[in-house]
Structure 1
């Protein structure tokens, strides 16, 4: 079992959280001052009441009685103001701290390798960035400071009780070891329970997120009943995790109330008995004050246990968030060269690559693309075509070999400079829930609306966009669901073209678009590939025939290279067989 699980408090974790407090140390210091003041004022009312009874009520003397009442009123007002400030700024500190942690986490996520996302659940990462963050905020807003305040209140109450009457204090102290021991046991089991709860929350979020995203598939294959059953099972585990925490709470929380009631009875019995036998060391004011002290002593202990639940959830959440932050899965960006543009000469030399260790996807491929050429890559599914796109953009690191542009190893170029010069149009187009304009520019400050309009006219899709409600300000909703697949593809072409890249990479998919959109895509393809180096994963014969070179891949290897006519001349060649099976009927049609 890890240190985090064994220890009730992970001081190393707290130390790390405190690093984020440094920008707000003035507020942190002020909160500690408020904690001390609230602890002191908590004992003031019972203490004043004692003297009001002994000096005025017990002796039937009106003198100074009004002063005691006014003092209690002043204490009440000041305590209320301090409590308001304490609650607000504790929450303020927690929210500002978690804002900084969330920004750091998201910045970290933006720079992960694609391999990290291949192996990670989106729902789990959303839990880390949203739900877990709120639990971390609660550490300060509802946990740590509250516990500190309650502990200090108990210490002050102890001290005042001893000062007022030591004998009655001994009766109260008899119960405390039992409660302290019970609290420690409670904390130990609650930490385990909350770790289980956070795990089940992550599982539930992942399950729901994936099913909602893939709802069309579920309904197409009539999987509603199956997924309903699966959801009930995972929801049942989630419920059992929470009920375990409820069970521990139901056992512990009545205990402080029981001890408080027994203690009040013992104090009243012993104190009253001593007063009957005329023990001058105990007064009526002492008894009333002690009865008022009981909630101030036992209630904080119960609240500490309650707030400790919040603290434990926050600690578990913080551990999980920092685990993501501590993950080193970034592409090494040690390049120093920042070319303003590329001529577009691309060269792969003996490139090996594996998504999974010992399962090579690319097996030492080598090819070159001259500046301004259009190269089509064809092959069966799984041949490694899309992998070439991923490696050129350094979404993944190659295992062996060299990829260079204009004779420069792409590892020597900064990631930003490399990717700024390469535009990619993917087969699976992703659009954000935003306007068409923002999906095209992606909020790039140097791309103006005038440039977007002109680029759209250049590739022949301006009229299509203007035909939509609100034109370029049309909101396409999540993943672009308001547009057809062909329309989404056209937007992605414009998004690539408007950046004026040196190198263009197209995963050209038109199998599921209408003839009108296909014609627009063909025109857009011709326009944006003209005069620039282009690598096209080709799905249409028209594009393949126009290519300056065709690279034929099979099982991670290049089996043939050449022009369309050259490859057709090879007897029993791979491309010729592929052409006859896949492309010939397209040409005939």
Structure 2
């Protein structure tokens, strides 16, 4: 199924669109303030530095007027509208020297100095003008009216930089905060989806790979929002501002620089074509490595006991080598198409610009002014910084898109919504009516099964491995749904009851109980606020845990690490029993709950079972037939069917399969039942 990764990433971002829009607005203001620098520099060069070559006119003494050899002069652009002007004079620069010319010039062109006179040539025309070379002090006096405007422009420029820095900080903070919030929402959704997924999903996917999607893949997506998109947003707005400024300076030059845009688009398309392929393999290998590490840690004792360490290392190295190979391929691609290629493109652009326009701008017959050329070069230099930033983020972008595709694949798995509310406690009258079930199509593990368990009864399920005992429990808990027939509780089909409601009044004790990181008390209550501390302690005492747990330094507050590995199997099992008792279920399932404990602990547990089973419908899956002698009903399963049923005494009298199994467990030799 196509997941429209980009569209869905945008949908996550739109959850915080208000914050993002404010950030982009702040960014736009910051960019506008920062990009005003070259325009200010252009004005300083063209108006206040090169503006000395504008026409000067004799005038009266006053503001912005300059004295030279007893006469007062003012630059043409300093005259107020309607103000009277006198004789025109000019100040011309030739090389590094400045000359005073006591008359207007008919045209401008290439300038040379000969015997103190200035010769101006343009096309085939030449004019010679009498000129006086200005001393440094005389030149400074002509520049004095420009000092104050230049200082104000410098102050304005630094003020805008400070102003822009505050807005940059604000937009960066808002964008980064939004990005972190987005990924927080995504991780919450992914974890919630894990709770909704069908048990079958976890049967087919190693835990390490699931963890990799929740941690590594979402972390890669976090980089997309925190770094990649922030960089792209900033760069695009920055580039847009630069192009607006370029068009303001010179339309022809701006159109020429626009050629960078299609080059950049083609660049991204070509890069993604190769990077996507490499990144998919890399993300898969990371997932495989995580899965193998998880499996190795879980089975470390088996690996060492059977001397498989060397073989496991080789298998890991194969995965690691594959990951390294594709990382190198991606590295080569990034090296080829990132910073180096940007530098080449930038240098070509600069060479073309200076070759085409630069030479002319240094002459009097300039195509563009020196200020415009300076501003243009400054903007081009700034233009390639966001281009470089975007290109350098292409690798992270592609990694994030591949990771997002894997995360959305998990989110698209069919799940079950968690139902709100509670279900009124039911009596616990369970009935299986002609139930058939298959994990795989047409490979039935339960066939036309029918039995009834009344409230307060204990039903034991026995049979060889693969006979269908655990499948009955899976159906009762609705970890799977039966294909044929119906299962009812108090006459109501369980498939019409939301799974969470159904399980509210059920509890299970497994052969190998699972304990969570926390304390003994928290493992009993599972942090359910409805289960008080008093209830926790009573449950532990009722199952006889007090004696076995009294040696622990902190008692019921003893820390429990992952899976309760610091506790004995008997202690873990008692905690699991207490957990079931604390939740006060109507239906209790004991899945070979006493098979992994010693004889002494089994006696404690058997005593606790009487308390635990009172008033509850109890299903016991047992291999030790001695533990189910008091069961109200024993179902002997064989290849998914009920081969025999009855009490212990009844089945012993039949001398069938149950009798045979019981005798074998007692160490007696018997003839196989036909």
If the length of structure 2 is used for normalisation, what is the TM-score?
0.80
Tell me if 1:256 matches 2:342. yes
Please give the per-residue CA displacement for 1:300-333, whole angstroms capped at 9, x wherever unaligned. Answer: 2222222333333222222222222221143897
Q: Following the alignment from structure 1 to structure 2, what is the Cα–Cα distance between the partners of residues 382 and 326?
A: 32
Equivalent residue, structure 2, for 1:91: 176
| Whole-Å separation in 2 of the counterparts to 1:3 and 1:568 | 60
Question: 474-483 or 162-171, which moves further after superposition?
Answer: 162-171
For residue 167 of structure 1, report the CA deviation from its aligned partner: 5.4
Q: Does 1:267 align with 2:259?
A: no
- State the match for 1:412 in structure 2: 496
Query: Per residue, is there more helix in 1 or in 2?
Result: 1
Equivalent positions of 1:463-542 (< 5 A) are 463-542=547-626
Residue 21 to residue 277, structure 1, CA distance change in 2 (3 Å)? closer
Q: What pairs up with 1:89-128 in 2 under 5 angstroms?
A: 89-128=174-213
Report the counterpart of residue 537 of structure 2 in structure 1. 453
Aligned ranges for residues 16-27 of structure 1 at < 5 Å? 16-27=8-19
Query: What is the aligned counterpart of 2:384 among 276, 298, 322?
Result: 298
- 1:330 corresponds to which of 416, 422, 431: 416
> In the aligned structure 2, how far is the partner of 1:168 from the partner of 1:117?
61
Q: Does 1:233 align with 2:318?
A: yes
Aligned pair count reads 575
Contact 2:590 2:621 (8 Å CA) reproduced: yes
Greater RCO (Cα-Cα under 8 Å, separation 6 or more): 1
Higher strand proportion, which one? 2
Distance 1:97 1:179, change over 3 A: closer
Structure 1 counterpart SS, 2:536: helix
Corresponding residue for residue 574 of structure 1:
657
Partner of 1:37: 29
- Contiguous gaps of at least 5 residues in structure 2: 53-142, 670-674
Q: Distance in 2 between matches of 1:183 and 1:79?
A: 30
Contact 2:180 2:222 (8 Å CA) reproduced: yes
Query: Counterparts in 2 of 1:307-322, with a 5 A limit?
Result: 307-322=393-408
Q: Is the 8 A contact 1:42 1:153 kept in 2?
A: no
- Do the aligned partners of 2:419 and 2:500 also contact (CA within 8 Å) in 1? no
Q: Which residue of structure 2 aligns with residue 8 of structure 1? A: none
TM-score (normalised: structure 1): 0.91
For residues 167 and 417 of structure 2, the distance between their equivalents in structure 1, rounded to whole angstroms, comes to 50
Distance 1:156 1:461 in 2: 72
C-alpha RMSD over aligned residues: 2.5
- Equivalent in the alignment of 1:191: 276
Q: 3-state DSSP class of the match of 2:8? A: helix
Residue pair 1:350, 1:365 contacting (<8 A) in 2 also: yes
Q: Which runs of 4+ in 1 moved over 6 A?
A: 331-334
Partner-residue secondary structure (3-state), 1:349:
strand
Contact kept, 8 Å, 2:544 with 2:574, in 1: the verdict is no
Segment of structure 1 superposing worse, 440-449 or 193-202: 193-202
From 230, 234, 238, the equivalent of 1:149 is 234
* Counterpart position of 1:340: 425
CA distance in 2, matches of 1:370, 1:195: 54
CA distance, structure 2, for counterparts of residue 396 and residue 170 of structure 1: 65
Partners of 1:551 and 1:560 within 8 A in 2: yes
How far is the alpha carbon of 1:14 from its aligned partner? 3.7
CA change 1:353–1:189 in 2 (3 A) is: same
Q: Pick the structure with greater CA Rg.
A: 2
Deviation at 1:92, TM superposition (A): 1.0
SS in 1 for 2:559: coil
- Find the counterpart in structure 1 of residue 7 from structure 2: 15
Aligned counterparts of 2:2 and 2:463: Cα–Cα separation in 1: 52
